[in-house]
Amino acid sequence: MAGKWSRGGFIAGASVAALGAAARGASAAPMMDMINQRPYDWGTPLEELGTKLYTPNRVFFIRSHMGPPGHIDMKTWRISINGMVKKPIEVTLDDLKRMPKHEVSAVLQCAGNGRYWYGDAFPEASHPAGAQWRYGAVGNARWVGVRVRDVLASVGVDPKATFAKIYGLDNPLLPTTPKMIRGLDIHKVMDEDTIFAYEMNGEPIPYYHGYPVRLVVPGWAGDFWVKWFSNMTLQDHNTTNFWTAVGYRYPDKLGKPGVGVPPNKEHPVTVMNVKSIITSPLSKAGFKAGEAAVIQGLAWSGDGAYAKSVEISTDGGKSWRPAQLGELPDKYSWRSFSYRWTPDAKGAATIIARATDSKGAVQPKASPWNPGGYLWNGVQSVDVEVS
């Protein structure tokens, strides 16, 4: 069944709790959901997502494999393009900024966003291992940079190249831990909206989000959006790196919940699927019979599709009514939805949102269990009490 939202902020240990309260009072800085303290796996709380078209950089979710690089010296910083090319090049940030700009509004979502809910949907099975994200490993931003294909135009890519091996400046703490390297299909490399981004929501990419350049791969899951981008090697095969050949894979054929699948019977997770989240209401109280209330949230989909409609149920899924949709600035963007509800009776009610995308895909009650816990897009429900 759908995941139930629960309010965060669990406090354990008086001294630590007091420290938290003091820090909040002193800085009035926004709070984030701390899925893993270190390296940062911090999600955006639903209250912060609200119905904002663009997620503020300050609370934009952070997913880390290795943590940020220790130091970036901009005097010597370059990105490298090499491998199956006629002329390997190195490009400075100034070089990039002199090239034609391209802007895209796109949802960035961790492939494992919602992994936590597999544990609710399949309680008897082994939960998928990994960061236990609930809703907040997602955000929408305006990304500005240079098309990757414009940069590649000057290097003479060998037509036999099928993949780009890509990585950033971040390194594991231990030499035995595989570096986070991704293999990106050449068709997506050459897509008109795949960019080397140097701006996020109108400011330079923040350090935690990949300063100075992050690869932006709209419509595809976040593991391709390499932060602190440094290298692209064109080659005629996909990388055998752990994070591509073993991690971030989805079964070719779904098996029994809780049971692992060998990597050679899986394929890389790429395109995101249709999804919506309810960002208001988030608590049971506040509803009165005969008084109008607003149900709101955000909806999106993956490569080549966008959220076309959102339906709301206030009776636990027995009946559905269309929500009003907000602006859609780009096919890769999310959009807000809003539904005015006047409860006619006192008592418990369950609100559910269900999105349908432009290709006709509809959010399921629960996504099928898979070993990595990827691509959760089951509908969200919120229990409320009408007084």
Partner 1 sequence: MRAMKVGALGVLLAAMIAGSHAMTARGATAPAGPTLPAGPALKAVQTNCQICHSIDMVTTQRLSKATWEVEVTKMMKFGSPLPKADKETVVAYLAKYLAPGVPRYPVAQATAPPITHTSADH
Residues that bind partner 1 (CB under 8 A): 6-13, 16-17, 19-20, 22-24, 27, 29-40, 42-43, 45, 57-59, 62, 67-72, 116, 119, 123-127, 129, 131-132, 134, 172-178, 203-208, 211-212, 258-260
Residue 62 or 272: the one with the smaller Cβ distance to partner 1 is 62
Residue 208 or 320: the one with the smaller Cβ distance to partner 1 is 208
CA distance 135 to 356: 18
Residue 120 or 303: the one with the smaller Cβ distance to partner 1 is 120
**Least distance to partner 1 from the beta carbon of 73, Å?**
10
Residue 27 or 159: the one with the smaller Cβ distance to partner 1 is 27
**Least distance to partner 1 from the beta carbon of 355, Å?**
24
Q: What is the DSSP letter of 85?
A: B
Residue 263 or 317: the one with the smaller Cβ distance to partner 1 is 263
Q: Which residue has the tokens 């991704």?
A: 182
**Amino acid code (one letter) for 84:** M
Residue 204 or 364: the one with the smaller Cβ distance to partner 1 is 204
**Least distance to partner 1 from the beta carbon of 247, Å?**
10
Helix (H, G, I), strand (E, B) or coil at 173: coil
**Least distance to partner 1 from the beta carbon of 173, Å?**
5
Residue 83: which residues within 8 A CB-CB, separation 6 or more? Answer: 161, 164, 165, 232, 233, 234, 235
CA distance 319 to 316: 8
**Least distance to partner 1 from the beta carbon of 122, Å?**
8
**Least distance to partner 1 from the beta carbon of 43, Å?**
7
Cis peptide bond N-terminal to 175, omega within 30: no
Q: Could you tell me which of 352, 349, 305, 353 has the C-alpha nearest to residue 325? A: 353
Cβ proximity of 300 and 220 under 8 Å: no
Residue 129 or 294: the one with the smaller Cβ distance to partner 1 is 129
Give the tokens for residue 365.
């009650």
Q: Return the H-helix or E-strand segment holding 20.
A: helix 14-27
**Least distance to partner 1 from the beta carbon of 277, Å?**
15
**Least distance to partner 1 from the beta carbon of 124, Å?**
6
Residue 83 or 168: the one with the smaller Cβ distance to partner 1 is 168
CA distance 377 to 136: 13
CA distance 46 to 345: 27
Checking DSSP bridges between strand 229-235 and strand 321-322, what pairing results, if any?
unpaired
Q: What is the DSSP letter of 193?
A: T
